């Protein structure tokens, strides 16, 4: 079938208008189309297909489809013979099939292939997860065993150190061994944390706490690291939050300590700034934003991208495996918080950790009527001023001194309205001078109930007579409590009997050394297995029992069940390195009084003992 000149003209104009082609190009296309109609030459079809591929534009494809339909509709209406109409119809079907139907078939194939690929990927993911779980379990078991061994090593090292019998090089070797053990303990602890997070074993333990106290604990934690880098200025800008909040303090601390430690690690000079501010999101909840900025080495965009991935440590000469930020990020997610970072190479980094926390209204600060006296001769006077205003708004009676002579004069001439708190922020020499003055003041009976506070020390000074010393800031909650004279506990009076059972001799050794050091009058009987313990329990009264859970023969749970069958029990504590949720749940379910974790942390053990002694009293 041959197109008439008029038809060619109409089609050329249509192509020109629709695709904005030149006369020549439009004409060329129409002639190719005519060749298709007349001779079955497929050049037109192939060129269209290539143009669609090349453009990759849905609108262009749709335009082509519309143009083809219009062209054939026009021609169909313009021809008169039956043969021509049939020719146009057949031709259209062929063109449509080659351009669109085949493309759809290809898309269908791609889709089918994609489904098959999905299936393969699903299977692979499932197997990968199974393998990871097995590996994690293996790592957890190894870590668990390592903790037990580290418990022993650390315990012995502590005892040797406490005896202070080593000298010269030997003392250094001991310090190096202690340092290496701590690094290893931190690593094992990191691995266990990751395993716990990944296996869903992480427990969120919420409690009411004061934000500023928590931040002080975080700062304490990095204080030693900071001491080794004297060119870093540690700055704080902590908003006063006059009520307790409800949240998982320990895990929030873990996140912040991780970020702070990293800041110290990657900053050699300049500053590290810890900032906290809040905003209300409802009557009962606030959004807390912790910002940690440093002037350290910073990160490249790729490093920023990878920072929260496991093993992301990029400077090999720095310590650690790079698990810390991964743990922090995972913990932040578990707490429904967000952790983000902005960093530029050689410019430092800014980490922002934000999370919602409930307010504990009953834990609102109550300092009305407190008399507080501040002396500040430092440049941070403005910050102090803000604090004074806050305390005054909360009902405290506050005096603020900037001049030394006025302040000293005030102290020496005081006869009544003695302050509950005297807070001093001074220079290095000033603190030493005031330490001596406080020695004198404390000898006066009227200052018996006054708490002397050294604030914003920013340096490590040995002060003997201040009651509280804060290197960066004192917590606002400090002003709630009144000073009570400390009653020094006489541990020698503690004369209870404890039975401890563990199949590992070193664990028992360490336990004995820690207890005898603190409580020389406590009787500690040791059993190396379940049956031996049961025998001892039958013939002697004990005030406390500690049972290792993982023992050959009778395990800890079985020993406990047998002891229960013997009658009334004293508090029985599980002694274990397995601190997984499932294990802790089981310990509670069967009726243990609690868990004493391995590696043994003496202060926790002492707390348990004191609680028991108090209960007996």
Partner 1 sequence: MHVKDYIDDMIINQKGYIVMELKILTCNTLHTLDFTPTIVMGFYQDIRERHFLQHYNILKEKYPNVDVIGCSSESNIYDQIPYIENDSKCVFLCLNMQRKSYQVHILNHIENNLSLAVEDNYNAIMLSSKYFVGIEKLISDIQHRLNGGNVFGAIASSLDSLSNNATIFYDGKFFKDSTLLWLIDKSYYSLEGLSIHQFEPVGFELIVTKCINDTIYELDHRPALKVLEEIVGHITPQNIQSFDFPFFLKQHDNVSFENTPLCSIKTIDSVANSIVLYRYVKEHDKLKLAIPVSLQEQEERLNWFHRFHTEAQSVALLFNCVGIKAYLGMMEFVYLMDLKHHLKMPFLGFHSFGEIGPLEVGKKSIVHNQTISLAILSPAKDIS
* Structure token pair of residue 22: 């030149």
* Cβ contact 49:99 at 8 Å: yes
Find the binding residues for partner 1 in span 547-566 (CB under 8 A): none
Question: Is residue 132 a contact point for partner 1 (CB under 8 A)?
Answer: no
Q: Which is nearer to partner 1, 43 or 604 (CB)?
A: 43
**Rounded least distance, CB 99 to partner 1, Å:** 9
Q: Which is nearer to partner 1, 101 or 281 (CB)?
A: 101
Q: Which residues contact 78 (CB under 8 A, 6 or more apart)?
A: 7
Question: Is residue 55 a contact point for partner 1 (CB under 8 A)?
Answer: no
Report, in this order, helix, strand and coil percent for the chain, each rounded to 5.
Answer: 55, 20, 30
Q: Which is nearer to partner 1, 13 or 110 (CB)?
A: 110
Binding window for partner 1 (CB under 8 A); candidates: 27-35, 106-114, 232-240, 476-484? 106-114
**Rounded least distance, CB 50 to partner 1, Å:** 5
* Structure token pair of residue 214: 């928590």
CA distance 396 to 412: 22
Question: Is residue 35 a contact point for partner 1 (CB under 8 A)?
Answer: no
Q: Which is nearer to partner 1, 43 or 179 (CB)?
A: 43
Binding window for partner 1 (CB under 8 A); candidates: 108-116, 179-187, 368-376, 540-548? 108-116
Question: Is residue 43 a contact point for partner 1 (CB under 8 A)?
Answer: yes
Question: Is residue 53 a contact point for partner 1 (CB under 8 A)?
Answer: yes
Q: Which is nearer to partner 1, 104 or 444 (CB)?
A: 104
| Beta partners for residue 373, in sequence order | 399, 422
Q: Which is nearer to partner 1, 56 or 416 (CB)?
A: 56
Q: Which residues contact 113 (CB under 8 A, 6 or more apart)?
A: none
Question: Is residue 117 a contact point for partner 1 (CB under 8 A)?
Answer: yes
Q: Which is nearer to partner 1, 34 or 261 (CB)?
A: 34
Quick one: which of 121, 132, 446, 480 contacts partner 1 (CB under 8 A)?
121
Quick one: which of 119, 361, 493, 538 contacts partner 1 (CB under 8 A)?
119
Q: Which is nearer to partner 1, 57 or 582 (CB)?
A: 57
Q: Which is nearer to partner 1, 109 or 564 (CB)?
A: 109
CA distance 383 to 167: 47
* Cβ contact 602:153 at 8 Å: no
Question: Is residue 280 a contact point for partner 1 (CB under 8 A)?
Answer: no
Q: Which is nearer to partner 1, 108 or 333 (CB)?
A: 108
* Structure token pair of residue 474: 């004192």
Quick one: which of 89, 113, 492, 607 contacts partner 1 (CB under 8 A)?
113
DSSP string, 67-135: HHHHHHHHHHHH--SHHHHHHHHHHHHHHHIIIIIHHHHHHHHHHHHHHHHHHHHHHHHHHHHHHHHHH
Find the binding residues for partner 1 in span 357-416 (CB under 8 A): none
Find the binding residues for partner 1 in span 77-96 (CB under 8 A): none
E strands in 365-506: 371-376, 397-401, 421-425, 451-454, 468-469, 497-501
Handedness of CA 6, 12, 15, 16 (dihedral sign): negative
**Rounded least distance, CB 36 to partner 1, Å:** 11
Quick one: which of 69, 89, 106, 403 contacts partner 1 (CB under 8 A)?
106
Question: Is residue 50 a contact point for partner 1 (CB under 8 A)?
Answer: yes
* Cβ contact 215:274 at 8 Å: yes
Q: Which is nearer to partner 1, 116 or 604 (CB)?
A: 116
**Rounded least distance, CB 46 to partner 1, Å:** 5
DSSP string, 149-166: HHHHHHHHHHHHHHHT--
Number of residues that bind partner 1 (CB under 8 A): 25
* Cβ contact 509:160 at 8 Å: no
* Structure token pair of residue 605: 């053990």
Handedness of CA 481, 483, 484, 488 (dihedral sign): positive
* Cβ contact 3:35 at 8 Å: no
Quick one: which of 55, 116, 361, 460 contacts partner 1 (CB under 8 A)?
116
**Rounded least distance, CB 129 to partner 1, Å:** 12
DSSP string, 307-372: TTSTT----TTSSS-S-HHHHHHHHHHHTT-EEEEEEETTTEEEEEEEEEEEEEEEEE---TT-EE
Q: Which is nearer to partner 1, 44 or 466 (CB)?
A: 44
Q: Which is nearer to partner 1, 116 or 607 (CB)?
A: 116
CB hemisphere CA count around 611 (13 angstroms): 12
Binding window for partner 1 (CB under 8 A); candidates: 120-128, 218-226, 250-258, 595-603? 120-128
CA distance 270 to 248: 32
Binding window for partner 1 (CB under 8 A); candidates: 115-123, 422-430, 452-460, 553-561? 115-123
Question: Is residue 616 a contact point for partner 1 (CB under 8 A)?
Answer: no
Binding window for partner 1 (CB under 8 A); candidates: 40-48, 328-336, 482-490, 540-548? 40-48
Question: Is residue 54 a contact point for partner 1 (CB under 8 A)?
Answer: yes
Question: Is residue 46 a contact point for partner 1 (CB under 8 A)?
Answer: yes
Residues interacting with partner 1, by CB under 8 A? 42-43, 46, 49-50, 53-54, 98, 102-103, 105-106, 109-110, 113, 116-117, 119-121, 123-124, 127-128, 131
């Amino acid at each position: 079938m041959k197109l008439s000149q008029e038809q060619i003209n109409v089609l050329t104009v249509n192509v020109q208008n629709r695709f904005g082609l030149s006369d020549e190009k439009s004409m060329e296309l129409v002639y190719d189309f005519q060749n298709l109609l007349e001779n079955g030459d497929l050049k037109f079809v192939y060129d269209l297909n290539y143009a669609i591929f090349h453009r990759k534009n849905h609108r262009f494809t749709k335009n082509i489809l519309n143009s083809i339909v219009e062209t054939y509709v026009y021609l169909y209406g313009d021809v008169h013979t039956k043969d021509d109409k049939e020719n146009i119809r057949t031709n259209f079907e062929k063109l449509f099939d080659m351009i669109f139907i085949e493309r759809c078939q290809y898309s269908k194939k791609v889709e089918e292939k994609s489904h098959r690929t999905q299936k393969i990927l699903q299977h692979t993911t499932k197997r990968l997860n199974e393998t990871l779980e097995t590996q994690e379990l293996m790592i957890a078991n190894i870590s668990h065993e390592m903790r037990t061994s580290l418990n022993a090593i650390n315990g012995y090292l502590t005892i040797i150190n406490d005896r202070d019998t080593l000298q010269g090089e030997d003392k250094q070797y001991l310090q190096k061994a202690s340092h290496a053990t701590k690094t290893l303990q931190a690593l094992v602890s990191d691995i266990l944390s990751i395993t716990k997070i990944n296996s869903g074993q992480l427990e969120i333990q919420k409690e009411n706490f004061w934000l500023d106290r928590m931040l002080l604990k975080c700062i304490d934690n990095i204080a030693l690291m900071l001491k080794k880098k004297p060119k870093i200025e540690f700055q704080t800008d902590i908003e006063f939050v006059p009520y307790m909040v409800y949240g998982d303090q320990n895990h929030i601390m873990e996140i912040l300590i991780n970020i702070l430690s990293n800041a110290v690690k990657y900053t050699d000079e300049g500053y590290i700034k810890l900032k906290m501010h809040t905003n209300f999101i409802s009557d009962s909840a606030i959004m807390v934003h912790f910002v940690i900025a440093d002037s350290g080495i910073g990160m490249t965009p790729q490093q920023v991208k990878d920072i929260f991935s496991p093993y992301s440590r990029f400077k090999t000469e720095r310590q650690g495996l790079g698990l810390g930020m991964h743990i922090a990020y995972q913990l932040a997610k578990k707490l429904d918080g967000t952790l983000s970072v902005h960093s530029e190479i050689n410019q430092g980094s800014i980490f922002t950790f934000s999370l919602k926390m409930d307010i504990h209204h009953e834990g609102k600060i109550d300092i009305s009527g407190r008399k507080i006296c501040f002396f500040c001769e430092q440049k941070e006077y403005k910050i102090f001023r803000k604090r004074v205003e806050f305390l005054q708004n909360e009902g405290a009676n506050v005096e603020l001194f900037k001049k030394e002579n006025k302040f000293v004069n005030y102290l020496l001439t005081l006869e009544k309205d003695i302050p509950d708190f005297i807070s001093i922020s001074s220079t290095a020499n000033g603190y030493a001078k005031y330490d001596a003055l406080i020695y004198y003041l404390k000898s006066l009976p009227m200052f018996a109930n006054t708490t002397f506070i050294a604030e914003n020390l920013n340096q490590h000074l040995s002060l003997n007579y201040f009651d509280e010393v804060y290197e960066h800031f004192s917590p606002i909650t400090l002003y709630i409590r009144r000073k009570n004279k400390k009653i020094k506990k006489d541990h020698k009076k503690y004369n209870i009997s404890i039975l401890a059972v563990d199949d590992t001799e070193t664990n028992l050794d360490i336990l004995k050394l820690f207890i005898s050091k603190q409580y020389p009058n406590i009787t500690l009987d040791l059993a190396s297995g379940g049956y031996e313990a049961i025998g001892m329990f039958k013939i002697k009264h004990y005030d406390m029992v500690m049972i290792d859970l993982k023992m050959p023969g009778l395990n800890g749970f079985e020993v406990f069940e047998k002891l229960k069958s013997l009658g009334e029990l004293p508090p029985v504590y599980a002694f274990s390195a397995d601190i997984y949720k499932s294990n802790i749940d089981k310990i509670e379910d069967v009726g243990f009084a609690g868990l004493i974790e391995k590696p043994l942390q003496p202060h926790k053990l002492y707390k348990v003992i004191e609680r028991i002694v108090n209960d007996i009293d």
